[in-house]
Amino acid sequence: MLTYTSDAGYPWKDELERFRTEVDQAKHVEPSGWNRARKIALIENIVRAYSGYQQENGAILDPFSDRERYYSTPAYAFAAAVLVKEGRADLLTSAAAALTHSISLVVRGEVPDNHADFFPILMLRAYVLLKPLLPEQATQWAAGLKQIEPEETYVFTMSKMNNPNRMINWNAIMISGEYLRYREQLASEGTEWMDHYLESYHLPRFTALGLYQDGPLDRPNSPLAYDIATRYHLGVMLDAGYDGRCASSLAESTRRGAFTSLLTLSPLGEIPPRGRSSQHQWNEAAAAYVFSSHASAAKQMGDPMMAGVFARAANLCFAAVDRWKMKDGRLHIVRNRYAPEIRHGYEIYTNHTCYTLWTAAALANAYLCDPGDEVAELPIPSEVGMRVLQMDGWFETITASVPGQQMVLHTALNDPYTVPGLVRIHQQGLPGLIGPAAAGHTESGFTEFSEGETLPISYCPAWRTPDGQWHSLAAGIPSGSEYNRDTGINPSDGGGAIVFNVEEDEGQETNRFTVDWIGPLVGLKSLRAYYTQQPGLLTVTYEFEGEIEAAGAVIPLMFSDGEEQAVITVSGDRVRSEFRGAYVESTVLNEGAEIRLQNYTVASRNGMLKEARMVLSDSQRITFTVRLGQ
């Protein structure tokens, strides 16, 4: 039997092969309940929620800013066109009007918020679906689309910027749409100019694991949201038949990336958080496409196992988005339940209508390449086996999973927007936020919060120096340069680093690993964190070397998602947060230790956190456990 795999250079190839063995031996997996009918229903709910905001000229109005924003209208056009294809004929006029308006905006150079680069992929996908149904109108659409001159029409081009560092995800997204325009014989040039951009500015950004490092070429800031978004768009281009000179390299990089995303997907169907735009619903919508596309590829190759695994991953991503539906069909676009107008956890560029409809469009692309309901779901990596994985490049993220549970650690010491420490715990069957699911930050970066203190907080070591001052790992180290949210931080600035080591533990459902944090940490010569992860139980030890008065552990606690508030209690040696029918409980194991609950609240993307601190005086070692349950 053929197997769907990557080439021999894939760093996690052995891990992938071990996972195949685990799947082969796995027991029955609980079905996700997601089939094609349910997927198209979710897309329809979103589209119809916004059909009422369509204006006479076809534009989709954003109700929160009372104007058309970004690429809302072409995203609506495409998602609505997919619904028309699936028999919702009443949306044909609406989809066509949105497409007509979108093309007009690009041709006239009047794209809202100067985001023309995002239009072509959405317009061309809609055009291909609608042109057989409206041939006369399609002639007018084609005439408009033929007027596009890429170097003049779009923003992130070398003719406009003359800066290789600025050829980021925008440029790749534009190219994916431009290939579709070329394929439809609506472009005057071939693929050579696209090949140049891909070869010079995009292929070099891929790590050996197939992750796309967005940001300046000389120091990419590597948000995982823009890794998955870029791979999604390039995948659409490849699936559409791109065969230029970069095709084989691009196909291998995106295939590696799909395996990496699979191996690091949480059991709740969410990609790890890192950097700007994390925990926006479109992250998982883009991932749904990546997984659906590779499920279909594995099916076509004759590998039912990987087809079933990728299909389940895609289904769990649909479920992850669906959990955040509002009553009217729209989405809470960031994973909290504050009213959209509050903008809690939003980036400065986040727009509710645009990001809801972009999510619908990405889900629609996933739907179109779905492998079909006949593909039987098989468990994903975080549901079977044990694995501890360190991402390569500048992603500085570790994921560790035992069956049904995953945790995420960030290791950058100098990035105030992505603080170090254990930042997320997901457990199957429990609310995604209980773990909790996000850290606090030293700087809010792009992110806006409606309430709470902007403070660094994660599961991390803390220590008191002889001057009576407390310090925590989450506060990081000085980089020596001013933080710039657009360009990020060079990981080497300030001298911070880690040493990561995984211990073999054959025959047990246990992960054991250590992280040595190296850098100019106040009062310390060295700091080591020991992690032992078992199903239902995490044990952590922090070991300090230096002149300190007390060892400590910071415990972040979910407090409020903007709708429901947790009940937090401190009792003797433990602290507990009960939230939405679940709990997380941390217990300090050292005799004589105390737990202090801080009186402030800390802002996070998910809402509000509280901080508890375990303190053990006259010690250089502290140990605690974390349990999650119902």
Instruction: For residue 455, give the CATH number of its domain.
Output: 2.70.98.70
pLDDT in tens, 223-275: 999 999 999 999 999 999 999 999 999 999 999 999 999 999 999 999 999 99
pLDDT at 507: 64
E-state strands within 364-459 = 387-390, 397-402, 405-410, 421-427, 447-448
Residue 443 has pLDDT above 90, yes or no: no
For residues 312-320, average pLDDT:
98
For residues 593-622, average pLDDT:
97
pLDDT at 401: 97
What integer best gives the mean pLDDT of the chain?
A: 96
| Cα separation, 164 vs 174, whole angstroms | 16
Q: Are 259 and 199 in contact (CB under 8 A)?
A: no
Residue 486 has pLDDT above 90, yes or no: no
In a domain, 535, yes or no: yes
Q: Which two tokens stand for residue 218?
A: 């000389």
In a domain, 194, yes or no: no
| Cα separation, 128 vs 467, whole angstroms | 69
The strand order across the sheet containing 574-579 reads 497-503, 511-518, 524-534, 537-546, 621-629, 582-588, 574-579, 567-571
In a domain, 451, yes or no: yes
For residues 562-571, average pLDDT:
97
pLDDT at 509: 87
Residue 287 C-alpha from the chain's centroid? 8
Measured in residues, the chain has a length of: 630
In a domain, 202, yes or no: no
| Cα separation, 442 vs 456, whole angstroms | 5
Q: Are 624 and 554 in contact (CB under 8 A)?
A: no
Q: Are 355 and 333 in contact (CB under 8 A)?
A: yes
- Which structural domain range is residue 484 located in? 387-629
pTM above 0.85, yes or no: yes
Per-residue pLDDT band at 485 (split at 50, 70, 90): confident
The number of domains in the chain is 1
pLDDT at 565: 98
Helix (H, G, I), strand (E, B) or coil at 153: helix
In a domain, 120, yes or no: no
For residues 38-61, average pLDDT:
98
In a domain, 117, yes or no: no
Q: Which two tokens stand for residue 531?
A: 């992690």
Helix (H, G, I), strand (E, B) or coil at 477: coil
Residue 506 has pLDDT above 80, yes or no: no
Contacts 24+ apart (CB under 8 A), 543-546: 543/620, 543/621, 544/461, 544/463, 544/620, 544/621, 545/620, 546/463, 546/521, 546/620
In a domain, 501, yes or no: yes
In a domain, 309, yes or no: no
Q: Which two tokens stand for residue 348?
A: 């400065």
Helix (H, G, I), strand (E, B) or coil at 229: helix
